[in-house]
Structure 1
Amino acid sequence: MFRPPESRRAVRWAGAATAAGTLVAFGAVAPAAPAHAANPIVTHVYTADPAPLVVGNTMYVYAGRDEAPTGTDTFVMREWRVLSSTDAATWTDHGARAGVGTFDWAGADAWASEVEPRNGRYYWYTSVNGRGPGWMDIGVAVGDSPLGPFTDAKGGPLISDSTPNSSGLNIDPTVFTDDDGQAYIYWGGYWGVRAAKLKPNMIELDGPVVTPQGLTNFWEAPWMFKRNGLYYLMYAANDTGGCVTDSAYACQRYATATSPLGPWTHRGVVLDRVSSTTNHAGVVQFNGQWYVVYHTADAPGGGNFRRSVAVDLLHFNADGTIRKVVPTTTGPPPNPGGGGPPAGTNLAPSATATTSYVSPWESVAALHNGGVPANSADRSNLAYGNWPQQGTQWVEYTWPSARQVNRVATYWFDDGQGIDLPASCQVQYWTGSAYLPVPGQSSCPVAGDTYTVTTFGTVSTTRLRLAVTARPGLSTGLLEWLAYQP
């Protein structure tokens, strides 16, 4: 039975006393056969504290391995494993790619970690028990691919008890790189959330450690991401004020901010308590869809110290708030990327959307709200339509300063009730005095149930317009419109 938080520390953190095992040949383990769609996503080993990362057409999940024997009431964790999928439903276990033995200075405990890419290399930030004074430290390993091999990047802790203003427990690092290239690290346990900038070399702090404000009831396990210009920080809480009824368990709360270091505004609970006492999650966008990756005790023989990674869909409301996650046993449907948005830097989230006309029951915000249409009749993430207008109507993106653009991707709306696929379309740009067709425009496809791509010569403009001509007697609409920089 788990105790209230003050006395529960001896249970949740008892893994700090486990002995380090001898780990060899990281990266030499042959991948296991792919596991098909279901939650947990792998069951041949126990995995915990997942951290997702998307590289190209692959989602990777970095997770610790729970090795506690049945009936053991403490964490036994000595290695980190890598799981991967190209459709978010079928997963391959690539085995242990790092562990306590990766760090000569470490004594035990391969706890929560995360991998962040930079300059073609992959930096693996880990919670590990260092030798000497202090309890838990944060180390950094580095590799030249998402699968490594990984080696110690620093030769000592990045963060330890000797770091000024460090957390009461230096665990659960999450690293986020903003659009300007500045990287930030967030970490902490025992209600002690901390944050700092990282230098470009990714293995040194750049300035003081700060204590983020506004993270209501923070306990541990921060996760940072950005969507449509808004910063999100998700974290584990164990309060009984709308989170859990038993403080031995945890939920996932989240907050938002307009700058990476806050101040933060608490928004609510995104994931209720799961079957394990700990609740550790990460969020990632893959093939146009958002996912939450977390752990439970649901695998056969599982428990609080024998946890397993699960994956489910994550959805946003039109105002940017997150809908509460509904955990499933089936996992998400396969998403191989066919018909999904093309890869590249989408400039639409930073623009203001306007239109010549929008139906009163629809919204121009649908154009760049990050929805993932299932088909052209899908209204689940808002829709833009201009019924009962006919002829040519337009939608437009405006940026506060000039942007370079050379292609757009469009997902057409077709409700079968007067809004139909258009007859034609044309991309136009603002020269400063007039709208002109973009140079060298390819065909402007009007197919349904998929993203269609229009390419053209690079233009530098503050306004990009899509003029859409309806079929006779009908109106037109869109579910998403993406604009890409070269």
Structure 2
Amino acid sequence: MKRKRIVAFLMASLFVAGTATAQNPVIRDQFSADPTARVFNGKVYVFPSHDIPTPPEKPGRKDWFCMEDYHVFSSENLTEWTDHGMIVSQNKVPWVDSTSYSMWAPDCIGRNGKFYFYFPANTNVAGPNGRKGFGIGVAVADSPEGPYIPQPKQIEGIHGIDPNVLIDKDGQVYIYWSMGNIYVAKLKDNMLELDSEPLVIDNLPAKGLKEGPFTFERNGIYYLTFPHVENNTERLEYAIGNNPMGPFKMTGVIMDESPTDCWTNHQSIIEYNNQWYLFYHHNDYSPNFDKNRSVRIDSLFFNADGTIQKVMPTLRGVGLTKATEQIQIDRYSAKSEGTEIAFLDSANTFAGWKTILPEKGDWIQYNAVDFGSQKYKLLKIRVQSMAETQLLVRLGEQNGEVIAKIDVPAGADWTKIDSPLVSQISGINKLFVSLNGNNPAEIDWIQFEP
């Protein structure tokens, strides 16, 4: 049963026309988690937390979360992400314990030409309640990319983690956070101080950990989304209401528990270019240690009554892949049972993955490749096989038109092969790659050349 769940977990969703490739994970050169996505100035900005390997001076965090700073990323097409660098560090915030490595899930919101970055961290001085523990601070910038200037003090009256800020249609600002329960309070116009007493949000599950609130409004409905440990690991759930402060009614599950037992998940939901997206995380680059995570994106859809359709996590992600790009078919849409996916280099997982076709007839499918209207001459492939074998590339399905036959030579090293196309291609197509020879083959990527 678990094998079937894992296969379902990896199956890809349909593409969304008008967007570009967002193969999962989307941040591919560092660990990233707890993504808050926002749309500013026509771009999508992602403000994640930043998992790092435990430094030698913090041996007590060897098997736990270790996070010392934040980066911000932006994209206009959901595939080409710019890292604008570090924006806040535990070493540069006066009230933060710079040895705690506990800069967890953040948020950012724009108002009146300023951008306010909210983040939790362990305090180095006692807060208003006489405790240290977690506080929530604010850093302010003139642009989403920064530079951000941290305020000298945390927000008075908040003891908790995972801040989330909502600006309602009437201009009132609300801040949500978690610490055992999920809380809400109004913020003053200066975005730096509470304007009401914290309120515990009722009617949420009493059993199991709740954290990471993210709230948004659509068609007059307020959605309170959050990770919740119903059983052993977190799943993404939501409640709805008609007021930002509640009451909320538990409504459903956005994403099921990870079948690969990644203990955490964390979400944000945005609309961009008339499509809704779910940003979340999984431990793709660190399968044996779920405290090093990576940001993913998948499409999200609503039912007519406003309820959210459950999202199936995918490797393929969303959007279209240009035929002239290196197409990472290991981020597949479907595959045969025998087809395997493995790291190119287990010692450097950020090098990515490869597709292994062990037996004749094994196959892998990759959806939504955009060939446009130009003509193509060659299919390029990076491939490896210890013995001579052959690959077939078809359009669409298993019985689709063959567009290339690739004879793979024997060799212990990776090789790049240029194979002439036997048929012209245009428009948007699925690709179906299968092993036609009697010996196994491993594939890194394929690419089309005009």
TM-score higher than 0.5: yes
Hey, what does 1:211 align to over in structure 2?
200
State whether residues 96 and 121 of structure 2, in contact with CA within 8 Å, keep that contact through their aligned partners in structure 1.
Answer: yes
Q: What displacement does 1:302 show?
A: 6.4
Structure 1, 64-73 or 257-266: larger mean CA deviation: 64-73
Amino acid at match of 2:254: V
State whether residues 21 and 318 of structure 2, in contact with CA within 8 Å, keep that contact through their aligned partners in structure 1.
Answer: no
Amino acid at match of 2:36: A
Amino acid at match of 1:290: W
- Are 1:142 and 2:140 matched, yes or no? yes
User: C-alpha offsets along residues 423-456 of structure 1, whole Å, 9 cap, x if unaligned?
Assistant: xxxxxxxxxxxxxxxxxxxxxxxxxxxxxxxxxx
Amino acid at match of 1:87: N
Q: What displacement does 1:205 show?
A: 0.2
Structure 1 unaligned runs (5+)?
Answer: 1-34, 241-246, 337-373, 375-486
Q: What displacement does 1:96 show?
A: 1.3
State whether residues 69 and 90 of structure 2, in contact with CA within 8 Å, keep that contact through their aligned partners in structure 1.
Answer: yes
The counterpart of 1:193, out of the listed 182, 188, 209, is 182
The counterpart of 2:234, out of the listed 250, 268, 283, is 250
The counterpart of 2:51, out of the listed 60, 63, 66, is 66
Q: What displacement does 1:37 show?
A: 2.9
- Are 1:310 and 2:296 matched, yes or no? yes
Q: What displacement does 1:301 show?
A: 5.9
Hey, what does 1:264 align to over in structure 2?
248
State whether residues 167 and 173 of structure 2, in contact with CA within 8 Å, keep that contact through their aligned partners in structure 1.
Answer: yes
Hey, what does 1:380 align to over in structure 2?
none
Q: What displacement does 1:64 show?
A: 1.2
Q: What displacement does 1:104 show?
A: 1.3
RMSD value, Cα = 2.2
State whether residues 22 and 297 of structure 2, in contact with CA within 8 Å, keep that contact through their aligned partners in structure 1.
Answer: no
Hey, what does 2:22 align to over in structure 1?
37
Structure 1, 95-104 or 206-215: larger mean CA deviation: 95-104
Amino acid at match of 2:316: T
C-alpha distance in 1 between matches for 2:216 and 2:205: 18
The counterpart of 2:230, out of the listed 220, 239, 244, is 239
| TM-score when normalising by structure 1 | 0.56
| TM-score when normalising by structure 2 | 0.61
- Are 1:322 and 2:308 matched, yes or no? yes
Distance 1:129 1:327, change over 3 A: same
Percent identity over the alignment is 38
User: C-alpha offsets along residues 131-153 of structure 1, whole Å, 9 cap, x if unaligned?
Assistant: 03321110000000000100113
Amino acid at match of 1:219: K
State whether residues 125 and 139 of structure 1, in contact with CA within 8 Å, keep that contact through their aligned partners in structure 2.
Answer: yes
Amino acid at match of 1:128: A
Hey, what does 1:91 align to over in structure 2?
81
Partner SS, residue 91 of structure 2: helix
User: C-alpha offsets along residues 287-325 of structure 1, whole Å, 9 cap, x if unaligned?
Assistant: 111001011001256631110110110100000000001
- Are 1:125 and 2:118 matched, yes or no? yes
User: C-alpha offsets along residues 4-41 of structure 1, whole Å, 9 cap, x if unaligned?
Assistant: xxxxxxxxxxxxxxxxxxxxxxxxxxxxxxx9631110
Deviating above 4 A after TM superposition, structure 1's stretches of 4 or more consecutive aligned residues are none
State whether residues 212 and 266 of structure 2, in contact with CA within 8 Å, keep that contact through their aligned partners in structure 1.
Answer: yes
C-alpha distance in 2 between matches for 1:42 and 1:301: 16
Structure 2 unaligned runs (5+)?
Answer: 1-19, 56-60, 127-131, 323-367, 369-450
Hey, what does 2:216 align to over in structure 1?
225
User: C-alpha offsets along residues 322-358 of structure 1, whole Å, 9 cap, x if unaligned?
Assistant: 000111101111599xxxxxxxxxxxxxxxxxxxxxx
Hey, what does 1:388 align to over in structure 2?
none
